[in-house]
Chain A
Amino acid sequence: MSKCFALVSTAVALALAGCGDASDDLAPEARLARLNRPNLVLLIVDTLRADWLEPYGYSEPVSPELQSWASRGIVFERALAQSSWTKMSMASLFTSLWPRTHGVELSTDGLGEGALLLAEILRDAGYATAAVQSNGWLEQSFGFQQGFDHYVFPRAWSVKQFSSAWPHRDRVLEEASRLLEAHDPERPLFLYLHFMDVHEYASPPEFRTFGNHERGFYLAAIRWVDEALRHVQEMLAERDMLEDTVVVFASDHGEAFGENQAYGHAYNVFSPVLRVPLVVKLPFDVPARRVRTQVRNIDIAPTLLDLAGVAIPEGFEGSSLVPLMFGPEPEVDRVSYASLRAHIMLDSELQTAVNDGSWTLVRNLDEDGEEHLFDLAVDPREDANIIDLEPDRADQMRKLLDAHERTGTRAGVNREDVRIDPKIAERLRAVGYLQ
């Protein structure tokens, strides 16, 4: 009798064990394949360079939250933005088009009705779409709000006696919380949050523990925004959304601290200012995965669509990163193009560039047309221009870049002569542009 009971007990125990979520036992790839219209959260931290983050090898504790995500998610070690200027870069990210194709180049350019943005595609597929951002270059008159049900710009509204809150992080989070609160759980959500604190080197005094200098303030701002990741996670958890949400952490461009004799961004398109973080946190933890293949920001939109199970438009020039997330990596890096074609800053160098993962060719677009060739294996900072020392390689890269430059701008994507609202212009000037 006891043996019988034991056997039955064992059987029951085994059955009960099997009654848990069977997907937990599946390999990550399989779990990924079984995602069903997950919520998608895109976190963009403006002006964030990858190499000063812990998942990218930085030794100081500037990004413990991101490091925690990286240990349970996927880190793309070599991601490149398509410009060192927000508007151009984000236009590429949202349309999955090269700057050459979308044609948004000038301060008065914007995305026209002919542009097909990620948010529009997701909304048409039944997603609720919401955004909170405070970069004047992405203001709604420039067309970036297309496809969003809510596109909130929590402005720093100054009244004479009181200056508005620094830093921006908490305002973005506050609005994000309200949007999540108002969200209909029956629909999947695409939420885009854009943080400006690092752009302005802003953080509360208690975060300024990295030195009383520009680099220290920049690092403190990173630490401040890093904490936002925990808040985002908590907000999602409070609403039982965490296990149905993919979060992508990225940046529109980096920031130079002397590389190529530049400080800041929107001065050139050498790779140091284009290297950005790209970390994907899936709804389930995975063993830390690091993808070495070079990827681009134009791959983010197709990736999110792929994860959402939505067809990727043929016109997209980027490709989904899902095949790279697990399994063997391809040997060939994804070629990346970047450009800066207007004097966003007084002394911006107008340039176009190609980076094939091993070499970079940067061409000045002014009269002299000077070219720069860099061997990334020994010169990742792109210091030594060896154009005259490696003529064969230079020719190869020129062919790539020339072919790219010959492709035209796609009609209807760019809208010219957008009026810049004086209040926005004032705000842009306050953060260094339009001088």
Chain B
Amino acid sequence: MSARVLACTLASAAVLTGCGVDREDRSARERFDQAVEDRDPVRARAAAVDLGRELPDTPEAVIEVARLLSEIGEMNRAHWMLREARSRHPDRVDLTLGLAETSIRIGDAAGALAALEGFPEGAQQAAYAEVLRARAHVELGKFEEALAILERGQERFEEPSLLRLERIDLLEDERRFEEALSTVREIQEDPTAPDTMYDWLALKEIDLVYAAEGPEASLALLDVLWAEDSSSVEVATRRTSRLVQLTRAPEALADLSAALEAHPEATGLYAVAARAAIAAGDLDTAEALLRRHVESDASAASLRNLALFLNQRGRSAEAAELLADLPEISDPAQRIELHYLAIALRIEAGDLAAARHSVEEFGREYPRNPRLGYLQARLDLAEGNAEAAAAKLSEVLTRLDRPDVKHLLAVALERQGDHAGAEVRYGLAAQENPQQIPSLLGLLRTLEAQGKWERAADVAARVIRIAPADPSAYQALARAQIALDRPDEVETLLRGHMARHPGLPGPRVALSFALRRQGRAAEALAVLDEAEAEQARRAELSAERAVVLGQLGRVSEAFDVLEATEAAEPSTRALRHARIYLLFASGRGEEGLAAAERAAETSGDDPAPHRMSADFLASRGRFEEAVAPYRRALDRAADAEVAFRLGVALERSGRDPEAIAAYRQAIEIDEKAVGPRNNLALALSRTGATREALEMAQSAYARAETDPVVMDTLAVLYIESGLSRRGVALLEKARRSDSESGEIAYHLALAYRDEARRDEARALLMELDARLGPGHALREPVDAALASLR
């Protein structure tokens, strides 16, 4: 609890008192109260607006309504109401203080100071007025002046507690912990300080010592308090937290167990002890403690803790059963919370029929609660209706703006194939709750689906930092690094993971893949050979081994591996891909195409068989035939490289307009893509869209200004656009970068010719003439250009 809250408790009760709400406002007030009970912010706000629409007749009523408005965040409405009332009752100190407080909160600190001018010194609330003056100065950036006001006030008032507490808060906010501590100790040593503050000061001292000196120093103080009273949950919570930080969780657990023996009535200690047990890795003891808590006190909190613990251990059905018969709980908010949790657990456990029944019950009991929409959406999703879930959640989000709602919406969008939308929502959920692994993993999936490898690598690294035991992040990181062409980093990372998780095949497979991509197939095979026998028989490893053997030219062995594995285990995608690859690689192209067709029929959403077929056909110059499988691959997974290759196949088939569309699609999927931009520029140029072609070539150059092909394309377009001198300079730069390129030399020669630099043009063309064979694509153009110079 901050000093400010405590101060308000001491002071504000006198300020914001009264219950003189008029008769006409009663219905609005009833609606407001009902909305608060239902936890419906939309209705609460509407009721509050009605309450605040007209100024209540009495200052007491104004203060009451202003308080309600403040509670639901309508601070500005509260401010204006108080301002209006104060203009009518300028002598009312309670209105003045309320006005000053709300002025500060709405960012009008100058207005607060103006309101406090002339505040009667002898008034009962004069000390609080000084507190508000100090806060206003802080808001205006005048921190030292704020402290000075509080110091002067401490000397002026007989009872300076408010001002001292404020000083503590300000210093703590400013991270001047030593000074804050000094103030705390000053109060502790003051015999006139109210006894009610003792406990609070003791804990504040501990928190400040922790902030200033670290966990060990604060633990020393906590040990003293613990020795005095080992039944205090607040002390226990802090002490356990420090011990866990100092990796002394077992000690915390032992102490708490002893405390529970000594104080069986202190049931709040069970939850703290369970946390210590979890931190110590003793999950069985943690469960036992939580069960004892429920037995000794079947409260909403104890039931909730046990249910969540069981759910996290994968025992959702058991957790749901626990909450099947809820005890009588008087607090409506807690009742709603437990009812909601029970339904969520039923959905997690897959008991959808029971869950739907419970949702209907929830709806009957709390028809306006925004969680109803959330539960219905969860059920829709569990039943496979992602579209309905997404629509429902979009609406729920406006009333229940929480990370779990955002996460669920992301899941619904992802299930519908909207990776971009899911990315945004997963990102927002993860931003609000940075430890939320599922949201981060969801974000990773959507980034990969869109080919956003750089970001995927960042997110994967983040997950690894938070949850190093999660293997999926390592694989995602490896895939991203491979896509970004950073093999060295991949190797280091994966070897580390293999050492940490020797039983998992995933990292070994990923490392093998990374090594063979670098042409280190022999090393890849060695990595696979290191796997234990049991792991080696796993389909993922076998498939990878087959591919590696194929790369090493040991095709027959590779097929043997596949046969043996498929005899023992059901066929997997990896095995089917490996077979297709081997058939193509060994020159059995038509068999490969047939195998790809069978694989595509088996797993309809798998893009790989289509892509592999298309690549094979394109490699044989059968571009027209390659178009359809490239399109099918693209339909199944947005892949910039596939879109690019489709564009090339279309271009080589003489289908420029479609090629342009494919290149645009590639750029949309991966905005970093250079190849599609370059090719798109050339295609646009052929269609006469010179301006757009130039823009596209420039954007390719922005991403790869050292690439001679890109330089060449841009240079040619500069020349076509009338910027010949610039084009020549760029071609010269390209030629310096790649002196072997015939295209660049040819273009430069033409540019020289057009600039009347005939000798330079001729020299270049003659050099080309000597180099080019008779069948070379540039043979005829070079001959024609030379002829034009004679």
Contact = CB atoms under 8 A, between A and B. Distances in A.
Interface stretch (A3-11, A155-163, A307-315): A155-163
Nearest to A385: B705
A240 interface: no
B421 interface: yes
Interface residues of A, number: 50
A384 B139 contact: no
Given A205-B394, A419-B143, A384 B76 contact: no
Contact of A140 (B110, B394, B398, B701): B110
A152 B174 contact: no
Contact of B107 (A139, A212, A419): A139
Given A260-B702, A384-B698, A389-B726, A213 B140 contact: no
Given A162-B72, A165-B73, A150 B398 contact: no
A158 B73 contact: yes
Contacts of A139: 107
Interface string B335-352: 000000000000000000
A212 B418 contact: yes
Contact of B73 (A143, A145, A164): A164
Given A140-B109, A152-B106, A205-B395, A162 B421 contact: no
Interface in B402-416: 402, 413
Contacts of A327: none
B671 interface: yes
A155 B702 contact: no
Contacts of A110: 141
A379 B139 CA distance: 46
Contacts of B413: 212
Interface stretch (B37-45, B216-224, B468-476, B584-592): B37-45
B108 interface: yes
Q: What is the interface residue range for chain B against chain A?
A: 35 or more
B97 interface: no
A418 B111 contact: no
A141 B141 contact: yes
Contacts of A388: 729, 733
Interface string B136-150: 001111010000000
Nearest to B395: A205
A286 B721 CA distance: 38
B288 to A, nearest CB: 32
A175 B111 CA distance: 15
Nearest to A141: B141
Interface string B666-710: 000001100000000000000000000011001101110100000
A418 B111 CA distance: 21
Contact of A142 (B36, B138, B141, B698): B141
A422 B176 CA distance: 13
B261 interface: no
A169 interface: no
B420 A383 contact: no
A162 B44 contact: yes
A171 B107 CA distance: 13
A152 B73 contact: no
B226 interface: no
A139 B395 CA distance: 32
Interface string B355-398: 00000000000000000000000000000000000000011011
B73 A157 contact: yes
A212 B701 contact: no
A261 B698 CA distance: 13
A120 B701 CA distance: 48
Nearest to B108: A152
Contacts, number: 124
A395 interface: no
Contacts of B109: 140
B71 interface: yes
A362 to B, nearest CB: 13
B173 A422 contact: yes
A86 to B, nearest CB: 16
Contacts of B695: 379, 381, 383
Given A155-B106, A204-B398, A175 B702 contact: no
A414 B420 CA distance: 42
A384 B41 contact: no
A269 B378 CA distance: 45
A329 interface: no
Contacts of B80: 178
Query: Most B CB atoms within 10 A — which of A150, A156, A379, A389?
Result: A389
A162 B41 contact: yes
A260 B702 CA distance: 7
Contacts of B633: none
A151 B108 contact: yes
B60 to A, nearest CB: 23
Query: Most A CB atoms within 10 A — which of B73, B111, B699?
Result: B73
A145 B72 CA distance: 27
Interface string B158-180: 00000000000000011000000
Contact of A155 (B45, B105, B138, B420): B105
A405 interface: no
A304 to B, nearest CB: 22
A370 to B, nearest CB: 12
B197 interface: no
Contacts of B108: 150-153
Contacts of A166: 398, 401
Contacts of A422: 173
B723 interface: yes
B678 to A, nearest CB: 13
11 contacts: A140-B110, A152-B107, A157-B75, A159-B73, A165-B73, A217-B424, A383-B698, A385-B705, A388-B733, A389-B726, A389-B729
Q: 5 closest Cβ contacts across the A-B interface?
A: A153-B107, A141-B141, A212-B421, A383-B702, A213-B420
Interface of A: 110, 139-143, 145, 150-159, 161-166, 171, 174-175, 178, 204-205, 212-214, 217, 258, 260-261, 378-379, 381, 383-386, 388-390, 418-419, 421-422
Interface of B: 36, 39, 41, 44-45, 70-73, 75-77, 80, 105-111, 138-141, 143, 173-174, 394-395, 397-398, 401-402, 413, 418, 420-421, 424, 671-672, 694-695, 698-699, 701-703, 705, 714, 721, 723, 726, 729-730, 733
Given A261-B702, A383-B702, 7 more contacts: A150-B108, A163-B401, A212-B421, A260-B702, A261-B703, A384-B701, A388-B733
